[in-house]
Amino acid sequence: MKIFSLLLLAMSLSVPALAAPDGVPGPADAGGYQGPAASYGGFQGPTGGTDNDTVAKALKAWDESPVLLTGNIVERLAGSDDKYMFRDATGQIIVDIDHELFWGKTVTPANTVRIAGEVDKEMFEATKIDVKFLEVIK
């Protein structure tokens, strides 16, 4: 029991030694924890690693290349529940969008959308985009 008491005393005396030196801002000065897990609303800047930002570039890209496209979904392809024609200023491409990605939003050809996904190239079929994310811009 004496060892436990001595250990507790030693720990309580060492806590001030762990405080930030004078002149160095610490968590108490900033109003809370400021480490890696602190959340301030996320990154606000450009998206890297997606060079294929147009339909024309996506059509020339390798299979499974990431893409981020902005344009319009102009029609649903006959005979399919999840394949649509997507168009931007450089051309058009088939996009495969699962129904769940619409999240209950209604999208018309007049709406501008941003889609993120990957290029899907298969033998003897047209190149298409397997959409992982859909955002209605306007």
* Domain membership flag for residue 30: no
Give the per-residue pLDDT at 74: 96
Q: What is the pLDDT of residues 70-96, one digit of tens each?
A: 999 999 999 988 999 999 999 999 999
CATH code of the domain in which 124 resides: 2.40.50.200
Instruction: Say whether pTM exceeds 0.85.
Output: no
* Domain membership flag for residue 97: yes
∠ CA 44-49-55, rounded to 5°: 105
Q: What is the pLDDT of residues 6-36, one digit of tens each?
A: 555 666 665 555 555 555 554 444 444 455 5
pLDDT for residue 117 is more than 90 = yes
* Domain membership flag for residue 13: no
Range of 76's domain? 58-136
HSE-up of 126 (CA within 13 Å, CB side)?
10
Give the per-residue pLDDT at 40: 55
Domain count, the chain: 1
What's the token pair of residue 89? 């200023």
Q: Which residue has the tokens 């610490």?
A: 26
Burial class (CB in 10 A: 0-12, 13-18, 19+), 101: middle
* Domain membership flag for residue 15: no
> In the predicted model, what is the mean pLDDT of the chain?
78
